[in-house]
Amino acid sequence: MRYRLIIFDWDGTLMDSEARIVDCMLAAAHDAGLEPLERAAVSDIIGLGLPEAIAKLCPGISAEGAESLRQHYARHFRAADQTPLAFFPGVEQGIARLRDGRRARLAVATGKSRRGLDRVFAANGSGAWFDASRTADETRSKPHPQMLEELLAETGVDVEDAVMVGDTEYDLEMARVLGMDRIAVTYGVHEPRRLAASQPSFTANAFPELIDWLHA
């Protein structure tokens, strides 16, 4: 195994949730009385914490408007979460391979809230896969590296023995700033050319490719 700690983003890396996130944000903007948002713009902010995502989507929005949008989005997403989403092909089998023999520890660093992550953990039992996790409402949002620093401290792993896996420049940039290796996956939100700017150690077009490389 190449690393002692493998840190995964969630949305767009492990779980195919882009359409749900976009649909919920579009509905929330409508309910909050805002101008319609573009689907591409909403896709672009996946991975950020919700306050940071709203600020980027709606420059100059008032505090009251931002709170209204946040509440409507949370309501729509909680309702949508009653229907479980699927993992990307190969994720469940790949995680099982990584956990076999416990040669590496696994963690999650996500723009989701703690309630949102715990909800999906409980729905599909995936919380048992991971040794640690950090959400955007517990620490600073990506691309600031604080959540990675906290995961390293919690697991007792040095930065050179860890890797961040993600589908957005926010994932890769927080690792790059920290001097941590990073792996890009191209099946998620951001285009390969955008991911390449963060100089990933490896780029995977499918989850099984990532697992094979980690085991090499």
Query: From the candidates 9, 44, 171, 181, which is the catalytic residue?
Result: 9
Burial of 111 (0-12, 13-18, 19+ CB in 10 A): buried
Indicate the DSSP class of residue 145. T
16 neighbors 9 (Cβ within 8 angstroms): no
Question: DSSP assignment, residue 125?
Answer: S
102 DSSP assignment: G
| Tokens matching residue 20 | 């749900």
Annotated catalytic residue 181? no
CA distances from 195 to 48, 169, 170, 173, 183 (A): 16, 5, 9, 9, 9
Q: Give the HSE-up count for residue 114: Cα atoms under 13 Å, Cβ half-sphere.
A: 8
Which run of H or E residues covers position 166? Answer: strand 162-166
Q: Which conformational region is residue 34 in: left (phi greater than 0), alpha (psi within -120 to 50 degrees), or beta?
A: beta
The letter for the amino acid at 204 is A
In the annotation, is 11 catalytic? yes
| Active-site residue, selected from the candidate residues 11, 44, 167, 171 | 11
Residues tagged active-site: 9, 11
